[in-house]
Every structure is written in C-alpha cells, then in structure tokens.
Structure 1
Amino acid sequence: MQFFFFLVSGGLVQSCGHIIPESPVLALGSNFTALCILNESCLDFGNIYANQIIWKIKNRVVPKEQYREINRTVSSVTFNDTSSLATPLTCNILADGQIEQNIYGIAVTIGLPPEKPKNLSCIVHQVSKLTYPMICTWNPGRHTFLDTHFRLKYRWPQDEFPDCIPKDVNNSCTITDVQFFVNLEVWVEAANALGKAESDHLVLDPIEIVKPLPPHNLSVNSGILPTVLKLSWDNRISGAVMQLKFNIRYRTIGDTNWMQVPPEDTASPRTSFSIQGLRPYTEYVFSIRCMKEDGVGYWSDWSEEKTGVTTEDKPSKGPPIWRIIDASDSPAFWTVHLMWKALEPFEANGIILQYEVTVRAKSSLSSPAEKCNVSTTNLTLKLPNGTYEVTLVARNRVGASPPSVLLIPASNSKAPVKNVRTLPKDGKLWVGWTAPNSYVLKYVIEWCLVSNSSDCIIEWQNEPGNVQGTYLKGNIKPFKCYLITVYPLYADGQGSGQSVKAYLQQDRPSKGPTIQTKKVGKAEAVLTWNHLTVDEQNGFIRSYTIFYKTVDGNETAVTVDPSKTEYTLSSLSSDTLYTVRMMAYTDEGGRSGPDFTFTTQKFGKGEIEAIVVPVCLAFLLIVLLGVLFCFNKRDLIKKHIWPIVPDPSKSNIAQWSPQVPAKHNFSSKDQMYPEGSFTDVSVVEIEADDKKSFSEQDLKPFDLLKKEKSTSEGHSSGIGGSSCMSSPRQSVSDSDEGETTQNTSSTVQYSTVVLNGYRDQTPVQVFSRSESTQPLLDSEERSEDHAGGGDSATQRQQYFKQNGGQDETNTDRPCFERTRQITPTNEGDLVGFAQLQISGHGSQPLGLGLEKSTQEAALPDVLQTSIEGQTVRPETVEGNPPSVDEMPKSYLPQTVRQGGYMPQ
C-alpha cells in the first residue's frame, strides 16, 4: 500500500483517511464494495471532502458511475464483477492547485473456494514381508488461485487417527501403518480463505487393496521335449497373509511382441510352471507377476526377465527351391542353376549341416537318381533335355527336413496366371495376380533390378497356392525399375511366367533425351533420338514433347508417343534456323534435354534438277542448232573466216625462164651493188579498193628512190620488180570510161616479163601465162584492166639479169616496199611510173629461175594483162608470204630500160 500524509501544525504526522475492508479476499465474479473514510481532523485543514475522492485500480480511474457519496467524509465504490478488479485499489483526492494526492490503498486478492476432492483411492504396497504402507491419492479439483490445504482423514469405527497432511503434492498422502482385516474409513478435506470441502468417505479393508511384490529368483530350464521350457520362482508374501495367482509372458529374441500363458493355467498358488508349444532350438525371454488369488487388489509389477533356449529338432519344412535354365552349347543339353533359400531359425529347428539334392528323370523312373550333398544354397547341373524331379532335404544334428520337390519340365505347358499388377503400399511393393482355373500348388514370385550397370540378379520367394497377392520381401529401392515374374507351380508341371515392370516410387527423369536430325529438307525435318536408359528414367516414360521455334518465333510443342524414336516436323520455313529440344515425362513430371539447332534447305528435293536439267537441255539444243547452222553455211563461214589462199607451189612462175639456173650461189661480193649500178626506181601503189579510174589530175609525180633508201628498206632478189619490188596490179587508161572497173581475173595473164640484154647479150622476151588452178586473191579478183589505152611498150615486162642477190640474212625482211601514191602531172608520165636502173657486173647472167622451195613457199602473184600489154605481180622470197596488210593492193605497169629508160 501507498500512503500520503499531511503535516499538521503541531508537528504530528497522521493519515487523512483509510479504506475498508482492509486486504479483502474476494471470490472471482462476486460483488464487492469498498469505503474510503476521511478523518475529521483533515477536513478543515485541507478542505478535503468525500465528493472530491477519485477511485483508481492500478492507476486506472474507476468510472464515476460506480461512486457513491455517503456523507461528506465517506465515499464508496461498487464492483458488480470482481473479474475486472485488480490490485491495488486506491482512494485519491484533488488538493489545492488540482494536484492529485493518494489518501489510501489496499491489496485485493481474488480466488475461488476449493472444490470437493474426487477419485479418492488407496493402495497398500508391499515393501517387505512385514511392511505394508498405504498410499491414498485423489483429484484436488480446479485451481483456486488461493492457498488451499488438503488433509487425509481416516478412522476406525471407534477410533480416529491423526490427519495425514501431504508433504510435497496436494493429491497424495501415505499412511505408514495399517491393519489388515479391519474396515478403515478414509476421506480428504480441502480448505482456503473462501471455504472448505471434503471428498466422499471410503470404507475398505486394507488386505483388499494390497499390491504384492513380484516373484523373484526366476529360472528357465530346458525340458525333455524340444518344445518345452520349465520356469521356477520364489514368492515374497506369506501364504498365511494371502494366496496368489500368476501371469507368465514370453517372447523370442528379437521380437517385441509378448505371448502369454493362458491365465486360467496359472490361477492357483504355485512356484513353478512348464511352458509347452515352443519352437525348437529357439531362445525365449520370460517374465512373471502375481496378485491376490480372488482377483481383489492389484497385480504386482513384472519380474525381472530371464532367457532360455529350447533343444534342437528336425527341420519343420524343406527349403524353398527354384531354378534358372540356360541354353547350353549343345542343343541337346540344359544348364540348370538350382538355388534355394536358407531356412528361418524357427523352421531349421537347429543348425543346418548340409543339403541333399536328388535329381531323377521323369521319363525313366527306373534309372538311378543323381544325388549331391552340398553346404551352399545353390547347385549347377548340366542335364539332357527332358523333364526332371528335383528333391531337396536340409539336415541338422537331429534329422532331415521334409523334402522340397521341384519339377523341371521340358516346356511350360500349364495355365499361366493372368493380370499381373503391382501397387506401392505402405513403403512396400505389393504384387497381385488372377489365379488360373486349375489347382495351384504354390506360386513363385521372381524379380530382379533392371539396371544398365549390372546384370539382373534374380531374387524370388514362394507363396502358397491359395493366395493371389503378396508383398515382395526383398530390399526394394525407390526410383528403380524391377522386373517381376509370377509362375504358378502345379503337381505335374508349371505354367509360363507372366511379367510386369514396376517402381516402388517414381521421380522425374534425371535427364532429357538428346535429339538429332536424320534428314533435313526444305519444309520438313526428320528428328531422331535414343530412349533414355533405365537408370535415367526414374519411372515410366509416359510421353515425349518436342519444342521447336525459330530465332524470333513462338515455341511450338508436339507430343510424341513414348515408343517412338523418330518424328518428322512439317510445315517448316525454308532456309530458316530452328532450335529444337525434347522433354520426357513420367508420372512425377518431366525434364528437358539439350537444345539442338538445324537449318532447313533453301530448295526442296527435285527443285534444283527441275531448273538445271531444262537449262542444260536448252543449252545443248542451242549448241546443236548452231552446229547444224554452221555445217549448212560452211562455205559462207569459210569465205569470211578463213578464205582460200593460192598455193604458190602449184604456180608455174618458176618456168618463166627455163634458161635461168634453179639455184644461185652468190658470194658476198656479188651481193654488193657498186655505186651507180642502179638507176632510180619509182614504185606506185594503188589501192585495189578504189573503184574509180585514174585521171591525169589524180596522178602526181613521185620521187625517185635513192640507192641508200633501197639498201635500207630491202634489196631486190630474183626477178626485179617481181619478187622484191612493187609490181603493177592495175593499168591506167587515157580514157575515163568504166572499163577500169572491169574484173579480168579470169582472162588476164599473171605476168608479162620483158628481159633486156645483159652487156651486149641479146635479150630474150618471154611471154608466160600461169597455169595455176588456185583462185585469185580478193585484190586480184577485183583487179581491173587499166592498160588498154596506153602504149604497148609501156605494158610489157622484161627479164633482167642482175649481178648481186639479196643477202641470205635479209631473206626474212618484207619482200614488198610501198611508197606513197604519186599522181602524174600528165598522161605521158604514166609510162614512167616505174623506173629501174640496173647495172650488172660479173660474167654470170641473172637467171629468172627460183628454187623450188622458194616457189612453193611464196604466194603466187596475180598477174593482170590488158589488150596491149602485160603486168607482173612480184612474189615473196624464201617462203615467207606477206601478210594481208603488207600485200600491195595494186601496182602500175613497169617499163625497164637497160642503162636508163627503155622506149615505150
């Protein structure tokens, strides 16, 4: 509580008020009224009155509706429900200056009255043969939030005993000494500040509530039979005090479930008991308890556990046997792998020493059986094809087990099971099937783990012929695929196995398929992939989904059957890059494989051939037509591309002068021309293309060729003016008539040569006409006879003798020398267009004959003649024909005079 006081003038300090009731204990939910009473001595001193009082609960102002002013010194506050009441409750007042002052305060306790104790029970615990304390317990009821005291009261009908007060807890109390065979009245009393309560009274004889100590010194001994064990023990309560009955329980080592001897077999007082029906050669654990024979009272605790082992006995059943048949190298033999399971301890009934295997052919029962004794659980035999009966016996120290029989038929000819199915259930894999109509002796369930990394190791189990489903008893792992096969076994054979694959638990594939292209076309692509391995599947593959898209396009999905490994995408764009991936799905989800890209072709199948083949055919057709055209127009083409050139070898120009030697051997001195040996030579070149007649105005005089110029441009050789000098190709007439344009190639002589005498020799004039069959050159064919109007002397040609020849080193030089056209000033000058002064020296005359090789190599000159004279066309030397550009177009007639100009 907190108080404030006022200082009185006399120096005495006193309180100005108080609250009643002082420190109340209130029941939760009840009504409560408190009064604040002011002292009279403080009224005048401080001007304090009841109407100024303010009530607070834990510094929270109580609403004024709950105030009541009784008089000027007393104010009350009322709470209809104490559930909202808290401590402390204070009475306050506003003094001068509106300062709140605390007058008085109280602590309020809220709680509940005690309930009636319930479920009072007592039990007498045996501590020793003479000590029997009694412990009573009860239910104290609800929590009162107050200090509540409990007392255990008991009495005999005439005597009362001191109360038993609990020490540590409020619901238990121990009475150390009780008397048997006397009724005792017992009850419990509870009290707190709000009231008291007591339990129902319990009247009993303590002997009826005794819990005795369990038997001790328990021992287990083997009996005469392998299925019996004998128990013995000591009781720790006197038979004079009470008679007991017993409970005996036992279990095998490793088992958590207890088995119990029937209670009626142990309902009488005893200190030993023989337990029957146990399994041979099995270790058991035993425990025992006791209570009052009539069932009144409590069972004692279980005694300490003791173990015992039954003796050995013959195995109770034969080992389960099965076989695997492999094809042998020889088709007439089988390789049979026999395998069996070790018996469980409760079936072996001892230590198995060996197994006896007997194999007998069914086709010949009289043939001796083959026997094998092994200590392992498998045996491999090589047998001829046929049907065999295999018998297996397990032996221990006591005897042999019943035989296990297995038929090895030549074929599985009996009815198989149907509708094999699996179901994961309670963390195990359940296998079910539909039984055949025939009677089945038993079933063999065979299974193995399907894996890429190891062989399928077969496990198996036998099941009775009357069941149609069982749990696999092996270590079945999740996310692994198992191949399960069910065989029905009959007394005279077996049915073929029916298989199914199963998973205890599935998951998403560990990876997705890797996709590739098998063939890519213009608008389609053939995709291929490999199935995921069993270790990668983690479940049954239900479907594949192919996702493909272009670089900037939307992704398209296609669902594919899980059995397929190839799919063709169609309606693709040509010459386009695609990205494709594949996802594999199980029941638990899917996983995608890596991305793969491919580009469709620009042209489809056959499109290139459809373009190339017609083009090639058209080209071949054009070429063929061109060849045919050229073949039909070969004469025209030959004329324009490679015209016929006369063959000099067929010309008889070499016969112009038979007296001329065929060969000339000139020395270097003979080839030298003395100064002044030649007269001036004038050569006129007239273009053959000129179709007009020559006139006097069109001709001009031309300069004489000097010796030096003749020497630098080329030397004459052979016939002067015919082989190395310009020859006349056309004759000029005095008239302007059109006869100059007349083509005389067919009637004009090739040449007319006039030979003058050499040094006092009489010249011989020879007229020769060419016998050549070669056609004339183009310039020759267009030659016109221009010599008709001139003097006959001016149109003759003469042979000349010449002392020197051209140097052999200069034979490759051009044979024709062209000069600028010269237009004569008058008609009389036309006869002097060609002037040649020749001086010979030496005694040998100049012959006109040429070597045969020179004649064959040289191009024949076209010689033109007129009515009055003849013209000579020079030929080439040493077989080097002049080019078309170098050939003279035409030449005017030459007149040669010895020692000057000859008369015309």
Structure 2
Amino acid sequence: MLLPWFIVLIFTLVDLQICVAENSCTFWSSAGSVVQHGSSFTVYCMFNCKCKGSMYSDGPDTPLSPKQLNSTTIYLNVEGITEKRTYGCRCNNHEPKPLCLSQDPCGLDISPGYPPDHPKNISCVYEISNNETGVVNCVWDRGRDTYLQDHFVMWMRAGNHTETHVLHESSKGTENLSANFTLSTSVQYILVWVRAQNVLGSVESSIVNYTVSDIVMPSTPVLAQPECSSRNCSIRLRQFDVTQTLQIQFRTEQQQQWTTHPDSVVSMNSSVNIWSLEPYRLYHFRARSKFSTGLWSPWSSKLSSWTQEEAPAHALDVWFAPGPAFESMKIYWKESELSISKGRNVEYKITVYSRNLSFSINVSADVKSWSVPFCANCEVTVQARNSKGLSPPAKITTHQRKAETLLDVRAKSINSTVAISWTKPETAATAYVVEWFPEGLMLEELRWVRLDQNHTRVVLTDLKPWECYEGAVNAFSNDSLISRSRFKQTATLESVPETGPSVEKQVKGDEVTVTWMELPRLQRRGCITRYTIYLENHENNPAHPKLFSVGASHRKHMIRGLSPALYSLWMSASTAEGEGPPGQKIKFYIEEDNQLYPLLMIVFAVSMISFVFCLWKSSFVKQRFRQFFSCLIPDVPDPANSKWAKQCTKDGGKMILQLQPGNSNLINEEDETILVNVEIFKQRCDTYTPTNISPCVPSPTNLSPETELTTLLYPALTTYIKSFSHDSDSSDHTQTSLDTNTTISYISFHGMGNLDSYDQEEEEEEPVHFFPSLNIFMEPLELGEKLTLDAVKIDCSDFFQNA
C-alpha cells in the first residue's frame, strides 16, 4: 500500500524541481526590443507553469488587457509607440494548490527610434604641427536625433593610401561630431567621407575632396605682455612664422565689440603698435594668424593692460546750493568720466577767493560735495587731481542766485519720467542748468544737468516713484546768471496719502494752537497740496465739524474764539489725486474764564461813574436832584441882607475883622489885628434879616475885647469875602472887578481858621488865601439887586491853583 504513494511523491517532486528550475514565464516582441519610432507590433507572454497570468506596462500598477492566445500564452497589440516602454507579465497564485512554486515576473524593454541620417556638412582643417606633419581635423553634421546608440566611421584617402578612423559610439543628440588624423605635409589632396549606423540601419555621406593648401591653418599665436603708454600699446608675439600674417583686436572693459587694428605684421621680429587709445583705460588684446593661403588660426587667449594716466584736460561739472540761513554754501561736483579725468582722482582741491578771504582745502576723492563759508561776491573753484596733475578750475560765484524769474517753466509727468520745458529769455542764453531734488532734500540729493543754448526741454529719468520733486531752470549768458525760475512740485506717480498727520494741541483761554509734522515720505504718495483741520463741537452740532484749510508749507494753525465746550480735532492731507484718510483724533476742553466776571464788573462801575459825572455837569439834573432831596440841604443865610453887610456898605466896602485872643491855638501870644479887604459889589444894601440865624457881626467899633470869638464866628454864618492882592488894589482893578462878566473867586469864612499874621502878609505883599467851603447842593450864585445865594458865584480854579 505504501509503494504507490511513494511513487506519486517521487514524480511530484520531480515536476516541482523542473518548474522551479525554469522561469514562470517568457516574454518576447514580434519586432524585437528596438523598433521604428511610431511603428506597431505585438508582444507575447507564455507561462511555463499552470497559473493565471496578467500583463502590465511600466510596473504592476499599470495593468493591461491582453488577449488569450492559448492555455499558456497571452498577447497584446501595441500601436504607434513613441517613447521607451517596459512591458511585463507575471503568474498570479490564486489557486489553493499551485503547481508552480516560482512567482518571478518576466518582461521586455522596448526602445523606439530612427535609422541614422546621412552625415553632411563635412569640414576639414589641416593644422600644421611642424615642418613634416600636421593634423587634419574634420567635423560633420550627424542630422536628427535617432534616440538610439549610433556608430560612425570616417574614411580618409590621400592618393592611393586610405586611412580609416572609427568613432565607435557617440552620445545621443544633434551636436556635431569630429574626428582627426595625422597627415604628412607632402600630401596635396585628400578625400573624406563618413558612415553612420545603428540597429535600424546604416548610411554613408557623400565624398568630399580637399586641396590641402586651402585648408591649411597655422597654430594659435602666443602674445607677450603688452607695453603701454598713455595713448598707445606695443604688441609682440612669442612664436611667429615669417610666412604668417598677424591680425590684432582690442577693446575696453566696458565695450562688447572688438576693434580690429588695420596693420598686419609679416616679420617675425616686428611688433604691432596700437595707437589712438584713451589714457587710464584697461584694454584687452587678442591675435590670430594665417599663411598666404589657407585659413585663419584660432584667436589667442586675451591679454590685458592699463594705459598710463594724463593730467585732466577738462574742468569738472560743478554746481552749488545755499546752506541754511545763507551762512554757508554747499559745492557739488560730478565724478568725471575716464575720458575727462584721464586717470584716477586722488583728491579734489577747493579754493575760495574774495577781497577779505582766501583759502584752499584738499578733500578726499570719495567726497562729492563740500560746504564753504558764504561771502558776498566770492569765487569758488574746484579742481580734480590725479597722479599727473590738476584739472582746469571750475568756477562758481556766490551772487549768481540773484536773478529774476524770466522763464516760463513747466513740469509734466510722463509715465515714470518728468519732462521739463521752458521758454527762452529775452537776453540770449548760452547755457542752461536744470536742477532737481526730492522735496526738502536739496542739500542731500541735489542733481543737475547742463544743456547748451539750443535746448528748451529735458526729460528727467531715474526718479523715485511716489516721490515729490522740485527744482529750477537757470539760464546763463557766458558766466552770468540772467534768470532763475523754479518749477512746481511734480511726481512720476501719485495717489491719495496713506494716512493723516499726527497733531498736537495747546489750549489757552478760548483759543487752541494746532501743530503737526510732515508725513513720512513713503506715506505721502506724491506732492502734498494742502492740509484740512476738522474741529468737532460735542455740544453744538457734532455731526457737522468745522473745516479749516491750511497750505502745504504750514506746520501750525491757531483757532480763536471757541466757546466753552468739549472738542475733538483731527487732520487729513491731500495730493492732486484727492484727500487721504484722517489722522488720529484728539480731544480738548475749553473752560469758562472766571476772571472775566470781575473785569466786566469793573468796566461796568467805571462806565456808571463816568455816566453820573457827565449827568452832574448838567444844571437841569442838579436842579431836579435838589428838588427831590431839598429836605437834606441845610439853610444858608443871605449875606446881602445881613446887618453885617449893611454895616459894610457904610465903610466904603472895606472892613477890618479883628480876632480876639481867646484861643492860643488860633492866634499868637501878641494881639494882632488881621485886616481883610472886603468889596461890596452893590452900593445899595437891602435890609433883610433871616429869623433863623444870629445877628450880623458887629462893626469893629462895636467890638470889645470881651467879645467872644464864637459870637464873631458863628458856625451857621458863612461870610463870602473876595480877596485882593495888595499889588492889585487900584481903582482900575476895582472898576474891572465890578464888571458883571468878571469871574470872581469867593472864600468861605467858617468858624475858627488857622490864619497867618496879616501884618506879615502886608509886609510880604502876598494875598491872603482862604479855603472855600463848597457845597455840592448849591448852584453858583449870580449877582443881582441883592446879595443873595443866586448872585454868588463860586469858581474853584483859584482853590485848586493855590491849594
């Protein structure tokens, strides 16, 4: 029973060994692994074991749909292949009991391509190595890219001798191929052709016949280091053949094209001199040669050399700008081109000339501007110095800025440039200087250009976008400035400002002072034309703030007459394109002025006093006042009807008043008599004695020493006496004093007065002055038939004069 099973096991192991030893499948193509580009063919896959197979392209992740040829073979038709592809298949183990243990896939790389083109454009050069031999180098065009590995073979036949040069393989592409071989100098003619082949076919070029003398070429010349002065360089060759012709080219570092020197050298010991060069320039030189027949040799490697320096032949381009407050003047100059400087500037010499000032200063070559003291009619010169000397002086005078505005200057932005145009002045100009600079940066970034008299327009380039520029056009007649005209602010690009100014305020009383700074340059976005201040009253129509427009050059504005309230304030800036966004808003409060009320009260009181005083000057007002306040006015006796007045008339208008000694404070120790001249204006005295007063003072004859002073000087009695100076006691004066038009001064004799000695006054010829007793409730008296109050006039001028 065990024998049959053992025999089956033996056969099974043998079959498995056979299956494992072989691949699981075999893959092949009907057109091979290399096919014609765009062709169609069929690929097959045969499985060596019993399994379920599949086919894929460029990896298992790209399955294909092959067809079943038989139980062991599948196939796929490929059409129009244009690129390299990899096809494969594998045995899938999906059965529970596989009969084949090997699962390795199989496949084939298919490469499409073209058969080679005919080689063409064969060109050969015979380069002489020595007197016996040389090397023939041939190049040809391989044609289109075959996308395959190509092989080329070149044949060369010299007479009956044929030499073959084989290029076993070349890289793919379309570049030209070359081959070279040695040839004796005795050979005169050669024939060359090329064969190209790959797996898809082979072709040959046509045969090219060369005369060796036509393709002969000398070796590349070797140059010695040139020797140069300021204007020429000498070129020599290290190796040279007497039968050769030499050609030399040169150019500067900045030039792109080479310049060919017209001279040729035919002698081995000769050198080539290159003339008409510029001083202090770096020149590059190269050379090539040829025989009397044949081809030019390749260019030699370039050699470089500097020409020497010369002293500058032209003056610098110099301009200037006044410094702050005209205390200094800043001189600018442009670095000259090499054609002008003729060397490397090592320093600049600045000289100032005037009647009272003269000095020189040397500055570094890196400096392009310098400030000098400002002086009237000073002449400033600037010179450049190199190793060979100084340049001619460039002159600037300080009074050149004093010129009238005669030119009609206009500035217009065009794309990223600005065109400046102007009219010619009446006085013929010989030159113009156009200057420009960013707004506010004249001393830092001043630029200018000089133009001749035929120009009336210039286009400014290399301007910063969104930058505001300003400048001027200066017209010169010889060295004198005849006109200077500024052009308005201009910018290549503009938009509204990015933000508003930051403001600060200072409040004082009912006014506020607003100050602000310029916007940063990057936020202006062009030329600022104006500023707008917005003032908002929170208590009175806050939705409609007041607007104040301020010029672009201002940095301060004062707002007056603000009523007490809470305010908000902000600003905006504008360009020609419109108004920008508002800046930061600030708040402030206007308080009531507490000192204003007392001041108004003082003004009111002064006004009322002045008004009352003016009213009091009116007699009508005073009369009304007396009528209302008559009860407060004391009764005054009528001196004209008193007994004393009647007695006075008997004595001719004069009486002697005698003060009795009763009070040591009023009189001296010795008895003295005080005489007072009393003038009676009327010779007739009416008899009238008021009932409410004491009797008239008795005459001096009735006075006794025992009479009391109180009787004589009763307080309620007021005596009006006109005082005369002794030097005026004349009849003429008396008559004049009786005139009714005469203003008469009266004094009031009230009670006990401090009287001086009358005898002393008589000796000194001085009048006696008495202080009047004034009553503001009494009107001035006028003289009438009786000596009444209405007849008495009080003139205070004497009182104030003698007080």
Give the TM-score of the pair, scaled to structure 2.
0.52
1:94-144 deviation line (CA, Å, top 9, x unaligned): 997696977984424222134425665555667788875454455555655
C-alpha distance 511-86 of structure 1, shift in aligned 2 (>3 A): same
| 2:305 equivalent among 296, 299, 307 | 307
Deviation at 1:590, TM superposition (A): 5.5
Contact 2:536 / 2:546 at 8 angstroms: preserved in 1? no
- 1:466 maps to 454
Gap change, CA 1:555 and 1:231, over 3 Å in 2: farther
Per-residue CA deviation, residues 138-181 of structure 1 (Å, 9 max, x unaligned), is 55556555443344444446433222326785654441424566
**Amino acid paired to 1:177:** T
Give the structure 1 partner of residue 236 of structure 2.
233
Q: 1:414, 1:493 within 8 Å by CA — same for their partners in 2?
A: no
Change (3 A) 1:91 1:81: farther
| Identical amino acids, percent of aligned pairs | 18
The answer to whether 1:581 aligns with 2:583 is: no
Tell me which residue corresponds to 1:541.
528
Distance 1:38 1:410, change over 3 A: closer
Correspondence list, 1:112-123, <5 A: 112-116=113-117, 121-122=123-124
- Superposed CA RMSD: 6.6
* Residue among 460, 477, 484 paired with 2:471: 484
Quickly say closer, same or farther: Cα 1:210–1:352, change in 2 above 3 A. same
Give 1:87's aligned residue: 86
Query: 2: CA distance between counterparts of 1:328 and 1:20?
Result: 99
Distance change >3 Å, CA 119–CA 437, structure 1 → 2: farther
Q: Offset of 1:597 from its aligned partner?
A: 1.4
1:179/1:425 CA distance change after superposition, 3 Å:
farther
1:160 pairs with one of 162, 173, 181: 162
Match for residue 685 of structure 2?
none
Amino acid at match of 2:249: I
1:443 aligns with 2:442: no
Q: CA deviation at 1:529?
A: 4.0
Question: Equivalent residue for 1:244?
Answer: 245
- Amino acid in structure 2 at the alignment position of 1:149: H
Alignment counterpart, residue 518 of structure 2, candidates 532, 540, 544:
532
Q: 1:596 maps to which residue?
A: 586
Instruction: Indicate conservation of the 8 Å contact 2:152/2:169, yes or no.
Output: no
Counterpart of 1:217 in structure 2 is 224
Q: What SS is found at the alignment partner of 1:175?
A: strand
Contact 2:165 2:179 in 1 (8 A): no
The match for 1:495 among 479, 482, 502 is 482
Asked if structure 2 preserves the Cα contact closer than 8 Å seen for 1:478 and 1:503, the reply is no
Aligned length: 566
Question: Which structure 1 segments of 5+ residues have no match?
Answer: 1-5, 361-368, 607-630, 633-904
User: Is 2:199 aligned against 1:196?
Assistant: no
Quote the offset at 1:548 in angstroms.
Answer: 7.5
TM-score by length of 1: 0.47
**Higher mean C-alpha displacement, 105-114 vs 83-92:** 83-92
Shift of 1:229: 1.7
d(CA) in 1 for partners of 2:73 and 2:105? Answer: 13
Q: Counterpart in 1 of 2:271?
A: 272
Say whether the 8 Å CA contact 2:501–2:516 is kept in structure 1.
no
Q: For the residues of structure 2 that align with 1:451 and 1:19, how far apart are their CA atoms?
A: 85
Aligned-pair distance for 1:596? 0.3
> 2:479 & 2:443 partners in 1: Cα distance?
32
Question: Retained in 1: the 8 A contact 2:439–2:469?
Answer: yes
Task: Give the equivalent residue in structure 2 for 1:67.
Answer: 67
Match of 1:290 among 288, 312, 322: 288
Report how far residue 292 of structure 1 moved. Answer: 2.8
Question: Structure 2 matches for 1:126-137, cutoff 5 A?
Answer: 132-137=134-139
> How far is 1:195 from its partner?
2.7
Paired residue secondary structure (1:90): strand
Distance between the aligned counterparts of 1:86 and 1:492, measured in 2? 85
Taking the aligned partners of 2:431 and 2:474, their CA distance within structure 1 comes to 9
Partner of 1:175: 180
**1:236 CA displacement:** 3.1
Give me the whole-angstrom Cα distance separating, in 1, the residues matched to 2:320 and 2:78.
Answer: 93
Aligned AA (2:150)? T
Query: Partner of 1:307: helix, strand, or coil?
Result: strand
Q: Would you tell me which structure has more strand in proportion to its own residues? A: 2
SS for the counterpart of 1:13 is: helix
Note the C-alpha offset of 1:31.
1.9
Cα 1:283–1:88 change in 2 (3 A) is closer
Per the alignment, residue 40 of structure 2 pairs with 31
5+ unaligned residues in a row in structure 2: which ranges? 1-10, 364-369, 597-626, 629-803
Do the aligned partners of residues 370 and 469 (structure 1) sit closer, same or farther apart at CA in structure 2, a change above 3 Å counting?
Answer: farther
Mapped partners of 1:509, 1:341: distance in 2:
36
Residues 79, 85 of structure 1: 8 Å contact kept: no
Using the TM superposition, name which of 162-171 and 300-309 deviates more.
Answer: 162-171
Contact 2:474 2:483 in 1 (8 A): yes
Counterpart residue number, 2:643? none
1:287 Cα deviation from its structure 2 partner: 0.8
1:418 pairs with 2:418: no
For 1:724, the equivalent position in structure 2 comes to none
CA distance in 2, matches of 1:575, 1:202: 110
Q: Secondary structure at the match of 2:454?
A: coil
The letter for the 1-side match of 2:34 is V
3-state DSSP of counterpart to 2:215: helix
| Letter of the structure 2 residue corresponding to residue 464 of structure 1 | D
Q: Aligned partners of 1:68 and 1:601: how far apart in 2?
A: 107
Residue 109 of structure 1 is matched in structure 2 by 110
Structure 1 equivalent of residue 18 of structure 2? 13
Which letter maps to 2:477?
Y
Counterparts of 1:93 and 1:418, CA distance in 2: 96
Structure showing greater radius of gyration is: 1
CA distance in 1 between counterparts of 2:62 and 2:341 reads 89
Say whether 1:256 aligns with 2:254.
Answer: yes
Q: 1:316 aligns with which of 313, 317, 339?
A: 313
Q: Structure 1 residue 246: deviation in Å?
A: 0.8
Larger relative contact order (Cα-Cα within 8 Å, sequence gap ≥ 6): 1
Asked if structure 2 preserves the Cα contact closer than 8 Å seen for 1:543 and 1:559, the reply is no
Counterpart-to-counterpart distance in 1, 2:322 and 2:148: 86
CA contact under 8 A between 2:27 and 2:88: conserved in structure 1? no
Structure 1 residue 497: Cα displacement: 1.0
Equivalent in the alignment of 1:366: none
* TM superposition shift of 1:249: 0.9
Q: For the structure 1 residues 593 and 304, does the alpha-carbon distance in structure 2 shift closer, same or farther, using more than 3 Å as the test?
A: same
Amino acid at match of 1:465: Q
Matching of residues 327-726 of structure 1 within 5 Å = 346-347=339-340, 416-421=406-411, 433-436=422-425, 439-446=428-435, 451=440, 462-468=450-456, 484-491=471-478, 493-500=480-487, 512-514=501-503, 516=505, 528-530=514-516, 532=518, 539-544=526-531, 560=549, 562-563=551-552, 579-584=568-573, 593-598=583-588
User: Shift of residue 257 of structure 1?
Assistant: 2.1
Relative distance call for 1:460 and 1:575 in structure 2 (3 A) is closer
> How far off its partner does 1:88 sit?
4.0
Instruction: Give the distance between the partners of 1:433 and 1:457, measured in 2 at CA.
Output: 23
Q: Following TM superposition, by how much is the alpha carbon of 1:490 offset from its aligned partner in structure 2, in angstroms? A: 1.3
> Secondary structure in 2 aligned to 1:300?
coil
- Do structure 1's residue 208 and structure 2's residue 215 form an aligned pair? yes
Which secondary structure state, in structure 2, belongs to the residue aligned with residue 234 of structure 1?
coil
